[in-house]
Structure 1
Amino acid sequence: MNTRWKPSVTVAAIIERDGRYLLVEEHTPEGLRLNNPAGHLDPGESPEQGVARETLEETAHRFKPTAVVGVYLSRFQRESTGEDITYLRFAFCGELGAFEPNRSLDHGIVRTLWMTPDELRASAAHHRSPLVLQCMEDHLAGRRYPLDVVTTNASVLIDQG
Structure 2
Amino acid sequence: MIWTPHATVAVIAEDTQGRFLMVEELSRGQVVFNQPAGHVEEDEGIAAAAIRETLEETGWQVELQHLLGVYTYKAPANGVTYYRFCFAARPLTRVSDVLDKDIIAAHWLTLEQIRDLDSSLRSPLVLQCLEDYRDGRRYPLEVIATPQT
TM-score bucket of the superposed structures, by smaller chain: over 0.9
Larger Rg: 1
- Please show how residues 102-141 of structure 1 align to structure 2 within 5 Å: 103-141=97-135
Tell me if the contact between 2:14 and 2:90 (Cα under 8 Å) persists in the aligned partners. no
Aligned to 1:10: 8
Question: Residue by residue, what CA displacement relative to the aligned partner does 1:56-86 show, whole Å, maximum 9, x if unpaired?
Answer: 00011111111101110010021xxxx2110
User: Displacement, 1:45?
Assistant: 1.2
Provide the rounded CA distance (Å) in 1 between the counterparts of 2:29 and 2:73.
17
Gaps of 5+ in 1: none
Provide the rounded CA distance (Å) in 2 between the counterparts of 1:5 and 1:43.
16
User: Displacement, 1:20?
Assistant: 1.1
- Please show how residues 70-109 of structure 1 align to structure 2 within 5 Å: 70-78=69-77, 83-101=78-96, 103-109=97-103
Q: Under a length normalisation based on structure 1, what TM-score does the superposition of the two structures give?
A: 0.87
* RMSD between aligned residues: 1.4
What one-letter code is carried by the residue in structure 2 that aligns with 1:23?
M
Aligned to 2:144: 150
Provide the rounded CA distance (Å) in 1 between the counterparts of 2:4 and 2:146.
18
Gaps of 5+ in 2: none
Identity of aligned residues (%): 39
User: Displacement, 1:30?
Assistant: 4.7
What one-letter code is carried by the residue in structure 1 that aligns with 2:84?
R
User: Displacement, 1:95?
Assistant: 1.6
User: Displacement, 1:5?
Assistant: 3.1
Q: Under a length normalisation based on structure 2, what TM-score does the superposition of the two structures give?
A: 0.93
- Please show how residues 30-41 of structure 1 align to structure 2 within 5 Å: 30-41=29-40
